[in-house]
Structure 1
Amino acid sequence: MFENQKISTLQFFILVLFFTIGNTIINAPSLIASQAKQDAWISSILSLGFGLCLALLYCYLASKFPNKTIVQFSEIILGKIVGKIFSLFLISYFLIIASLMIRQFGDFMTTIIMPETPSLAIHLLFLSIIVTGAYLGIETLGRSGEVILPTLFILLVVPFLFLLPEMDINNLKPVYENGFNPIMRGTISHLGIPYLQLIVILMIFPYVKDIKKAKKIFILGVLLGGFILTTVILYSILSLGVILTEIKHYPPYFMAQKISIGDIVERLEVLIAGTWFITIFFKTTILLYAINLGLSQVFNYKNNRPMIFGLGYLLLILTQFITPNIVYFNDFFKNIVPPYGLTFGLFFPLLLLSIYIIKRKKMPTFASENN
């Protein structure tokens, strides 16, 4: 049972940071540059600002129900039946995101690193690691994050330092060439990944030992993660230019291929790939953990660990059919994920907040019941 596990504020910060970086570090530059062009870095900064507002909204809801996940307090606010229905839709959102993560990992491996390996084999191997991590629980995942965090920063910082000679400030010009609309389109796309997906963190919020500090730590994790993503987008445009950033599926990976210092320091793209492998593993594992925990709370299962294996198998099947190819995958992220994310990452929590405020005024005993 997962309910007895607890994580420290540092572990919570690491999990939020890893989730925020997630898969976004590898595909966000291309996604945003395709809409905002050389102003993609402006879109990234704006989306970070909106993302912090979302984090504040999530923190406010979590503070009103400090010992409840979003599945549990949805039933309290909306009623049992309606709350369970909404929770199942939210869990389906987590399921789709997780399957997209696994599919993206498989596409990257079979396209760039191991082209002759069947994608199914890659998906099976990756899923086995994810299922193991989710089975061991959030406490083990948090401790793993503590161990891996220094390695992650080394993998991030080293390529950035060696890329400095490749920077060309002219790649950012002209600033604001196409006006505000393309920048806003890029901002909305970036909101879809990862900021609107951060609602899944409300599934692990109650398991932080110090709930009061958890709210500040959540904001800090989102802020640092967003800063890293903005830096990656800026570096991609400065080193590759807007055209290559837009047409390459994995700009940071190809950006690192440009590093060559005295024919000694080369092929550092493996560091970027390593960073992505770490963060996408943590993000997908958190999603699987949340799916399993959410379903067990909706259907009142006491022993929810064995269900993880069935969910892993379901993810494997869904991954094979969710997108037919990488072109469709990128189009899905650009046009489908943002509105889908707005529904569950913004409108749903706003609905919960509105009903909570109304019920709290009309039913004074409601607030005391859940605090």
Structure 2
Amino acid sequence: MKKEVISDKQGISIVILYMSGTSTIVVFGLLAEMDIWIANILAVSFAIIMGLIIGRIQSSFHGEDIFDISIKCYGRFLGGIVIILFAWFAFHEATLVVINMQTFIIETSISETPYYALTIPFIFICAWAIKEGIELIGRWSSLFIIIFIFSVISIVVLLIPEMNPSNIQPILYNGMKPVLRGTFAAFTFPFGEIMMFPMFLYDFKTNKSSYKIYTLGLLLSGVIIIMTSLTTVLVLGVDVATGVYFPTYHAVKQISVLETLQRMEVIAALIFLFGAFLKISLLLLGVCKGISKIFNIKDYCFIVIPIALLMINFSQFAFTGRVVMTHWIYEIYPIYTFVFEIILTLIILIPVEIKRRRMRGRTT
């Protein structure tokens, strides 16, 4: 495989779009209720610490992905088990994005369209993108990020007349427990997913680029998510926001300027679809790289289509219905993802730190 190096700007753009691209229709940290903004600030703070940890791991193995690092830390057998866990988590996350994308389209626009008519073309576009490589995705992200940020800021500004400050008052009315629950939920999704980036982002220009990309990317995406989440609660209120599947999308529908500027939710929907495209593409890339590493395949490209088809099929029977999926996401998903995001990261970090200390001891 050819070596693909991305610039810091492209890397930051990828992180921002990955983390906040779906925030145009959903709200993160709603378990915190009126104090959602506090929960998101705390979640971003913890995520930046996570980003520094990931940057430290990658700076110790410059130019190598998390799969090579796993093998170097634990050997072929134990490292292979770690790779399987990373690949499974990426596969499952991508499947959830596929389900959300398909559900959103059906519930908001074309409800009679068959599932596969929507999903197959979308996934095949993602498969084509990753066959072209991470450099293509990086260039696309650096261009689209301008449109994305401008659109988000415009939506927030246009919704100012619809905001009601009483929807977030009084502060800490129910104490810290809801805030902590919201923080945990927002950290596990989407911020904790920063641990998956070493699957597909590893050929940086400098050894310190990972620190800059992850910290700045998380900070900026956090600002965007705080803006959109807070705006949604200010416009709809906590009760309405928790009662609909895509609250930010419903909030954007409130925009009406002089009865001429309306239907802005179309822009929000398009941004979400572009964000879903990026997220599925990167996760699919991570899965294919992990599987190719397990079976010692030099080029991952020829397994992209089979994995994509498997992802489509798995999305069909992963949940028996929307209600079951919603219950799983709110009650089980945070704990499930915590195991992968924190425990797997620590599994990699511990031998990396041992290696760094040994090398430091030899030089003194």
Same fold at TM > 0.5: yes
What is the distance in 1 between the residues matched to 2:150 and 2:251? 17
Q: CA deviation at 1:146?
A: 2.1
Is the contact between residue 205 and residue 211 of structure 1 (CA under 8 Å) also seen in structure 2? no
Q: 1:1-371 residue pairs with structure 2 within 5 A?
A: 1=1, 3-29=2-28, 32-33=29-30, 35-359=31-355, 361=357, 364=359
User: Quick one: structure 1 residues 360 and 54, their matched pair in 2 at CA, closer, same or farther if it must change by over 3 Å?
Assistant: closer
What is the distance in 1 between the residues matched to 2:284 and 2:144? 20
Q: CA deviation at 1:156?
A: 1.3
Query: Aligned letter for 2:274?
Result: I
Query: Aligned letter for 2:137?
Result: L
Q: CA deviation at 1:315?
A: 0.5
Query: Aligned letter for 1:11?
Result: Q
Is the contact between residue 166 and residue 239 of structure 1 (CA under 8 Å) also seen in structure 2? yes
What is the distance in 1 between the residues matched to 2:170 and 2:241? 16
Is the contact between residue 360 and residue 367 of structure 1 (CA under 8 Å) also seen in structure 2? no
Q: CA deviation at 1:367?
A: 9.6
Q: CA deviation at 1:144?
A: 1.2
Is the contact between residue 167 and residue 237 of structure 2 (CA under 8 Å) also seen in structure 1? yes
Q: CA deviation at 1:154?
A: 2.6
Q: CA deviation at 1:351?
A: 2.2
Is the contact between residue 27 and residue 232 of structure 2 (CA under 8 Å) also seen in structure 1? no
Q: CA deviation at 1:159?
A: 1.4
State percent identity of aligned pairs.
26
CA root-mean-square deviation? 1.9
Give 3-state SS (helix, strand or coil) of 2:301's partner: coil
What is the distance in 1 between the residues matched to 2:163 and 2:198? 39
Is the contact between residue 47 and residue 187 of structure 1 (CA under 8 Å) also seen in structure 2? yes
Q: 1:193-237, CA deviations, whole angstroms, 9 ceiling, x for partnerless residues?
A: 111211111123322223323321221011100110111110011
Give 3-state SS (helix, strand or coil) of 2:85's partner: helix
Query: Aligned letter for 2:107?
Result: T
What is the distance in 2 between the residues matched to 1:145 and 1:323? 31
What is the distance in 1 between the residues matched to 2:306 and 2:361? 37
Gaps of 5+ in 2: none
TM-score, normalised via structure 1 length: 0.93
Instruction: Report how many aligned residue pairs link the two structures.
Output: 363
What is the distance in 2 between the residues matched to 1:281 and 1:205? 17
Q: CA deviation at 1:359?
A: 5.0
User: Quick one: structure 1 residues 359 and 140, their matched pair in 2 at CA, closer, same or farther if it must change by over 3 Å?
Assistant: closer
User: Quick one: structure 1 residues 359 and 122, their matched pair in 2 at CA, closer, same or farther if it must change by over 3 Å?
Assistant: same
What is the distance in 1 between the residues matched to 2:51 and 2:254? 36
Q: CA deviation at 1:364?
A: 4.8
Q: CA deviation at 1:166?
A: 0.7
User: Quick one: structure 1 residues 364 and 59, their matched pair in 2 at CA, closer, same or farther if it must change by over 3 Å?
Assistant: closer
User: Quick one: structure 1 residues 81 and 208, their matched pair in 2 at CA, closer, same or farther if it must change by over 3 Å?
Assistant: same
TM-score, normalised via structure 2 length: 0.95
Is the contact between residue 22 and residue 276 of structure 2 (CA under 8 Å) also seen in structure 1? yes
Q: CA deviation at 1:71?
A: 0.9
Query: Aligned letter for 1:122?
Result: L
